[in-house]
Amino acid sequence: MTLINKFDGGFNLIEEQIERAKAHFGELIKEQLTRIEKMKVQKDFTDFKTKDKIIVGIVGGDGIGPFITSEAQRVLEFLLADDVKTGRIVFKIIDGLTIENRAACGKAIPDDVLAELKTCDVILKGPTTTPREGDPWPNIESANVAMRRELDLFANVRPVSVPEKNIDWTFYRENTEGAYAVGSKGIHVNDDLAIDFTITTQDGSERIIKAAFDFAEKSGKNKVTVVTKANVIKTTDGKFLDTAKAIAKNYPTVEMDDWYIDIMTAKLVDEKRRSQFKVMVLPNLYGDILTDEAAEFQGGVGTAGSANIGKQYAMFEAIHGSAPRMVEEGRGQYADPCSIIRAAGMLLVHIGYNEKAEQLQKALDVCGLYEKKLVLTGRETGATGSEYANYVMETLSNPNLDTVYAKFI
């Protein structure tokens, strides 16, 4: 083969690779434009005050998920006992979101499970395993990412509160876009080049940023911090930041500032600066990173709950993983249920039981941060999740809970 033929062959191969990548990218653009049209015709948020029946889906997930989720369900049933008796609150157990079943179906969420999820108003979900390189499972998409997309749960809300450190943060993480939107749909152009995609839409940015400003205004936390990397990621992060600046003009009582994600991770550990942050709104990936860092101040990711809110559905979960090793070693019953019980508290707020949620928050703080009559170690050296849930419910039953809580604050 002559040098010219070699050059022509290489050129043709490159052209083929470019055309294949263009076709792939074109399909992604069609997908996202269709999603945008759906966003434009969305209804208002569900008004739970008008609902005669609220269906709460309980999804155990896998690993330690079923262990801790069952304890959170017990706490909810305890707090909502009167309305469970009248039939206003109905708990619905939804199985099938295990890694084994998802792998067998080849889907992040099997079709029958998704259909069951859509019959619920709110969902309490245990951790689910996302396969990684080297795992004995096919490379299926994260169940969390799929659920957020399928139910359009665009707002991931994560509060972190440590009163003695003057920390009271609420994070609004965009949940359906950014680097995770098509995280399993990147392309290997060839052996030398792999490309992933990050997505920002006008409608998607507006709704999460408005949600953050609405919360800041209504709660009295009159400051919103927008976190991006718009100085480098100029197109997508730039759109997010520009949208925030435009929306901020409609909230004259709410202060807005913006920080880049790299320095923001440092400022959360800056004792002089961190107490000045109140409400933070972030694109998907940055929100995932920063909320895990923030949870460490509260005792680690095992202590933090998370809300995933859309206009029709909402899902509440622990922010940690499924810890399959604990189950393999026979320690599942010792898994810490605090994170998902805190998530259950957020569920209570969402459906209108604010006072019960406040009492649960106080009981969890008394049990986990202050009194500590029982300690969870993840092993037989500590309490089981069931024992700890009993401790929380006993604390809730104390008519002097407010006095006990006030003693520690």
Per-residue model confidence (pLDDT) at position 184: 77
* pLDDT given for residue 8 in this prediction: 58
* 126, 59 Cβ separation under 8 angstroms: yes
In the numeric block, the tokens 């009271």 are attached to 168
1-47 pLDDT tens trace? 454 555 556 668 888 999 999 999 899 999 999 989 988 888 788 88
Tokens of 113: 């499970």
- pLDDT band for position 297 (cuts 50, 70, 90): confident
pLDDT tens, residue by residue, 95-119 = 999 999 999 999 999 999 999 999 9
8-state DSSP, 46: P
Cα radius of gyration (the chain): 23
Check if the beta carbon of residue 374 is closer than 8 Å to that of residue 392.
Answer: no
Phi/psi for 398 (5° steps) reads -70, 115
Cα distance between residue 185 and residue 196, in whole Å: 7
Average pLDDT score over residue span 123-144: 87
pLDDT digit string (tens) for 344-382? 999 998 999 999 999 999 999 999 989 999 999 999 999
The predicted structure's pLDDT at residue 3: 47
Share of the chain above pLDDT 70, in %: 96
Per-residue pLDDT for 137 more than 90?
Answer: no
Output the pLDDT for position 60. Answer: 96
Which pair of tokens denotes residue 208?
A: 């999460």
| CA 83 to the chain's CA centroid | 27
Of 194, 196, 201, 195, the closest CA to residue 182 belongs to: 196
pLDDT digits (tens, 9 = 90+) for 50-72: 999 999 999 999 999 999 999 99
What is the arithmetic mean of pLDDT over 216-238?
95
Please give the single-letter amino acid code of residue 48.
Answer: F
Q: In the chain, what is the straight-line distance between the N-terminal and C-terminal CA atoms, in Å?
A: 82
- Whole-prediction pTM: 0.77
Q: In what order do the strands lie in the sheet with 305-309?
A: 89-94, 54-59, 122-125, 314-318, 305-309, 155-162, 167-174, 279-282, 223-228, 255-260
Average per-residue pLDDT for the chain: 92
* Pair 226, 254: CB distance under 8 Å: no
Return phi, psi of residue 231, to 5°: -75, -20
pLDDT of residue 6: 52
Strand partners, 194: 188
pLDDT band at 301 (very low <50, low <70, confident <90, very high): low
Nearest C-alpha neighbor of 98 from the set 69, 55, 56: 69
